[in-house]
Structure 1
Amino acid sequence: MKRYFQKINSVKGELNFAGDKSISHRAIFFSSMAEGKSSIENISLSEDVKSTQKIFSQLGVNFINDKNKLIVVGKGKRKFNAPNSFLDCGNSGTTARLLSGLLIAQNFPSELIGDESLSRRPMKRIIEPLTLMGGNIESVNSTLPIKIFPSNSLKAIEYTLPVASAQVKSAILIAGLHLSEKTKVIEKFITRDHTERMLGLPFNESENLKVISSSDKFYPTAKDYFIPGDISSAAFFIVLGLLTKNSELVIKDVSLNPTRTGFLDILKKMNADIKIENEKQSSNEPYGDIIVRSSDLINVSIDSSVIPNIIDEIPILSVAGIFAEGDFEIRNCEELRFKESDRINAICENLKLTGLEVEEFPDGFRVSGKFKNIQGSFNSFNDHRIAMAFSVLSMLIGNECTVEGIECVGISNPNFYEQIEAIIN
């Protein structure tokens, strides 16, 4: 599906976002693992989270929609039902990786599959540590599909993450919840910490290392969750508000987890007028309101240490960068090549269509120069974040730019275009 865009004049209004995708996944996981009834308010509407919910339904968890809450009747430790068929993770890497950590501790076999895009993404990074724990996992190419068999020898491990990955960390910690001895994950680079926050897992930090522990002492119990708005979805609107003249946008009750707000810090260094108000907490997760006003941005150097915490925002951050003063360059983000698309290549190929000078590196890219073509026909590469980033760019350029393949935005924010229509002038 192709969409045409006209140049917009300003952005004004107030937006609320459905729940953060990462937190929503984990709320379903922990509510399903707990015995008894939990509730989840403001859950994500994304297809990825629906994939997680569907799989837990296959495992015997009962879900009841009650007005604006999802009631979850969890099964309890090692009480899931054996599935009758494949467990289809769709496009969701979070579902596949976290579920692997849970399934190695169950007493039945299972097989995880995914769509074409997810089936190309690397799973070796979880297979290796889960196998060290005694998990019985089979995969032909270290990608989906993977088969998981019951294991009688699951054991706690101490594991240093070779890559910055909250999904790998969470898979190991979830497996560790089934053991009396402590499993420890050691991070050299800080990653999203939703799992340890929501479970109340102990951790310590020293000499630039973070060590997180899990054991059956922290196995989840039934509780009520409020999911703050998805800041990764909000990022596209934040940049649109900054780059459009005479604009002011208020985003209500959005996640302010410090491992997720790195792109806000970068934008502020770029001279963005962004303010935070009404800060609160739910399930150890901070959230509040973000106020955004039109700004003249200046490009800054982006330190490699923040890359893991802005990885999903790099497509839209690059849009901010090409309108900012000076060249935009980002490096040390080779992980982008292993997302729903090769995002480094997707960004570069689309930007080249505008006549900008684009230099692609193995681990990033540099953009300079001026627009020479303002009738871009952009490709989403079937990647929701590429589709949304270049929809924003199209609205800023105008002149009936198009984005092909916009239906993929439903992976994270099916309301994206309706929300755009609500705030543009």
Structure 2
Amino acid sequence: MEPSAQPRSFTKAPPLSGTISVPGDKSISHRSLMLSALAVGESRVEGLLEGEDVLATAAAMRAMGADILRGGDGAWRIHGVGVGGLLQPGQALDMGNSGTSTRLLMGLLASHALTATFIGDASLSKRPMGRVIEPLSAMGAEFTASPGGRLPLTMRGLCPAVPIEYRLPVASAQVKSAILLAGLNTPGITRVIEPVPTRDHSERMLSGFGARLDIDIASDGVRTISLEGEAELKPQHIVVPGDPSSAAFPMVAALLVPGSRIVIENVGLNDTRAGLIELLREMGGGIEIVNAREAGGEPVGDLVVTASALKAVEPDPARVPSMVDEFPIAFIAAAMAKGRSIFRGLEELRVKESDRITAMAEGLRLIGVEVEELEDGLVIEGRDGDPFPGRGGPISTKLDHRIAMSFAVAGLVSSGGVMVDDMRPVATSFPGFVTLLETLGPLQ
């Protein structure tokens, strides 16, 4: 454990109750800053996630000429420079822990005549960038990366870049978005063919800002997204919905802690992100959507979550893109369910902030769960509602915010408590996570 680590023990909680909201959606927050910075005029963004990852994006856009200010009312105002107007950054762009910032900004800059160096923390520097480097190189950008296509990485953009038609070899909203962002300043039509649908925030927001975008869905479900380059983006007023990936943690906590009933307000319910809600309902979870509405082109609603006895599940691997970030907390739910849950098709989890398959398997064993690690997933023997013994520990978070929050939730349904080795990574996506849990019920 590092000397500066922030270990924290989480112990058995009383019934959770109350009404809460979670921080703004991280995916939408990143994109709202980037596209506002490319619009001509002032955009206003309310509900922006003010976690470290999104602030890294804001700092990068400032370094390339955008004027970005947070007002006293909590709203952010962004004066853009126009598509093609980004300036040469004066120093390396520090992405911290944010893979989304890195991959999307690589796309954004690929069609600008500038050179940028990307650096990040120890966790981000282990994450491969090759899946973005390949299509952006085809558009004319040049890359000098560390071994394995990792950070530190220097890229030289090309203007005018070359439009491409690219079929995604793996389901990745980040790769799709990087190519579309590169296409904004590229003459002609840039096309991305998506065999498996992924989160569509980029397409929604690009259209909202005025980009000329066409989406064709074939009879077999394959999506072709065509973007007309040399776009002129118009400033927007964006209200960011609550992040469904962050809502996942109090949602599962309320399902597992007996006697709980909570309301989570203003959660984004985009169907490309709602896989966990569907999965938990199939497991018997009491989750009701009320006050469904639309905000900023995105479906939102309030979730009423009631403690429930869960049963095991074997989700279809085709569901992975719609809940790829929620599997760590889904594993905790499965560990408290009745029966054996089998999760397959999760190779993508091995290249997240940590190897989430191994990290979760190790942590689950430490708190008393029988688990088998597969090449592409986990087999979890559920405890049928029996509290985790909580023996062993501390849980190694591997500097991964979702590992930390998942085992914090596990501690709330443990008889012996669960020690998490470091809660600092949580600030990347969910500042105030522990404080929010404490509003639902007193934590020891």
TM range, normalised to the smaller chain? Answer: over 0.9
Q: What per-residue deviation string (whole Å, max 9, x for no partner) do you get for residues 388-409 of structure 1?
A: 0000001110423211111111
Q: How much identity, in percent, do the aligned residues show?
A: 40
Deviation of 1:180 after TM superposition, in Å, equals 3.3
Partner residue, 2:390 = 374
2:183–2:189 Cα contact (<8 Å) kept: yes
Pick the aligned partner of 2:42 from 34, 37, 40: 37
User: Do the aligned partners of residues 246 and 372 (structure 1) sit closer, same or farther apart at CA in structure 2, a change above 3 Å counting?
Assistant: closer
Partner residue, 2:210 = none
Partner residue, 2:297 = 284
Secondary structure of 1:349 counterpart = helix
1:31–1:74 Cα contact (<8 Å) kept: yes
Matched, 1:17 2:22: yes
2:82–2:232 Cα contact (<8 Å) kept: no
Pick the aligned partner of 1:204 from 216, 227, 233: 216
Matched, 1:190 2:208: no
Partner residue, 1:72 = 78
TM-score normalized with structure 2 length: 0.93
User: In the aligned structure 2, how far is the partner of 1:291 from the partner of 1:63?
Assistant: 36
In the TM superposition, 1:84-233 aligns within 5 A as 84-141=90-147, 142-152=149-159, 154-200=161-207, 201-206=213-218, 207-216=220-229, 218-233=231-246
Matched, 1:323 2:317: no
- Structure 2 residue runs without a partner (length 5+): 1-5, 208-212
Secondary structure of 2:254 counterpart = helix
1:8–1:396 Cα contact (<8 Å) kept: yes
Aligned Cα root-mean-square deviation (Å): 1.4
Secondary structure of 1:397 counterpart = coil
Q: After the TM superposition, which of the residue ranges 279-288 and 307-316 deviates more from structure 2?
A: 279-288
Pick the aligned partner of 1:363 from 376, 383, 400: 376
Partner residue, 2:437 = 420
Q: After the TM superposition, which of the residue ranges 213-222 and 331-340 deviates more from structure 2?
A: 213-222
Partner residue, 2:3 = none
User: Do the aligned partners of residues 119 and 219 (structure 1) sit closer, same or farther apart at CA in structure 2, a change above 3 Å counting?
Assistant: farther
User: In the aligned structure 2, how far is the partner of 1:198 from the partner of 1:13?
Assistant: 33
Deviation of 1:326 after TM superposition, in Å, equals 0.5
User: In the aligned structure 2, how far is the partner of 1:408 from the partner of 1:374?
Assistant: 22
User: In the aligned structure 1, how far is the partner of 2:107 from the partner of 2:416?
Assistant: 49
Deviation of 1:28 after TM superposition, in Å, equals 0.2
Deviation of 1:280 after TM superposition, in Å, equals 1.8
User: In the aligned structure 1, how far is the partner of 2:389 from the partner of 2:16?
Assistant: 24
User: In the aligned structure 2, how far is the partner of 1:283 from the partner of 1:177?
Assistant: 21
Matched, 1:257 2:270: yes
Q: What per-residue deviation string (whole Å, max 9, x for no partner) do you get for residues 365-395 of structure 1?
A: 1111657843342221211000000000011
Q: What per-residue deviation string (whole Å, max 9, x for no partner) do you get for residues 71-91 of structure 1?
A: 011111221221111011111
User: In the aligned structure 2, how far is the partner of 1:261 from the partner of 1:253?
Assistant: 14
User: In the aligned structure 2, how far is the partner of 1:421 from the partner of 1:41?
Assistant: 25
User: In the aligned structure 2, how far is the partner of 1:81 from the partner of 1:278?
Assistant: 43
1:198–1:285 Cα contact (<8 Å) kept: no
Matched, 1:81 2:91: no
Pick the aligned partner of 1:26 from 10, 13, 31: 31
**What is the identity, as a one-letter code, of the residue corresponding to 2:58?**
Q
User: In the aligned structure 2, how far is the partner of 1:372 from the partner of 1:231?
Assistant: 26
User: Do the aligned partners of residues 152 and 218 (structure 1) sit closer, same or farther apart at CA in structure 2, a change above 3 Å counting?
Assistant: closer
User: In the aligned structure 1, how far is the partner of 2:255 from the partner of 2:66?
Assistant: 43
**What is the identity, as a one-letter code, of the residue corresponding to 1:388?**
M
User: Do the aligned partners of residues 372 and 23 (structure 1) sit closer, same or farther apart at CA in structure 2, a change above 3 Å counting?
Assistant: closer
Deviation of 1:107 after TM superposition, in Å, equals 2.0
1:178–1:215 Cα contact (<8 Å) kept: no
**What is the identity, as a one-letter code, of the residue corresponding to 1:169?**
K
Pick the aligned partner of 2:364 from 351, 365, 371: 351
Partner residue, 1:400 = 417
Deviation of 1:218 after TM superposition, in Å, equals 4.9
**What is the identity, as a one-letter code, of the residue corresponding to 2:41?**
G
2:160–2:185 Cα contact (<8 Å) kept: no
Secondary structure of 2:79 counterpart = strand
User: In the aligned structure 2, how far is the partner of 1:282 from the partner of 1:134?
Assistant: 37
